[in-house]
Amino acid sequence: MLTIKDIMTKEIHSLHSTQSLYLARAMMKTQHIRHIPIVNADQEFVGLLSHRDLLALSVSQLAGIEETEQMELDQHTPIVSVMKTDIVTVSEDLDLSSAIAILLENKYGCLPVVNGENLVGIVTAADFLQLTLDLMQKTDQKHSE
């Protein structure tokens, strides 16, 4: 049986709650990610910031706000003031069927993976899509032999 450990991303791009939204936006852009787990100094998971959260916080360009003004606002806004803290986490040993059910039932885009309180990985909807693609390609190979 496949578990979270089999597909999770272990190289996690995380930030601390005292860091700024500006840094979070920059990380999402440069690392091409949509979710940033937030940890404390002991690498314990304390919250999550998503691309959707940042979009909701952005001042609309239709309001006449320049990009530089948005950057200025972001530089002075700590992540702790906007991050979500009521996030479901999972262990590495959780079976993938249960994880998929959690994602679907709650309409989540990711699940932070913890060992105790320590962040050890993250699994996203994209990880499940990659797994599906891999399995489909293996099935297609077997049928073509």
In angstroms, how far is CA 117 from the centroid of its own chain?
17
The CA distance from 118 to 59, in Å, is: 34
Place of tokens 């399995």: 135
Query: What is the rounded average pLDDT of the residues 86-112?
Result: 95
Q: Domain boundaries in the chain?
A: 4-144
Retrieve residue 73's tokens: 């606002």
The CA distance from 39 to 24, in Å, is: 13
Q: What are the start-end ranges of the E strands in the chain?
A: 15-16, 35-39, 45-50, 110-115, 118-124
pLDDT tens for 122-143 read: 999 999 999 999 999 988 887 7
Decide which of 3.40.50.620, 1.10.20.60, 3.60.10.10, 3.10.580.10 is the CATH code for 4-144: 3.10.580.10
- Its pTM stands at 0.87
Q: At what angle do helices 21-31 and 67-75 cross, to 10 degrees?
A: 110
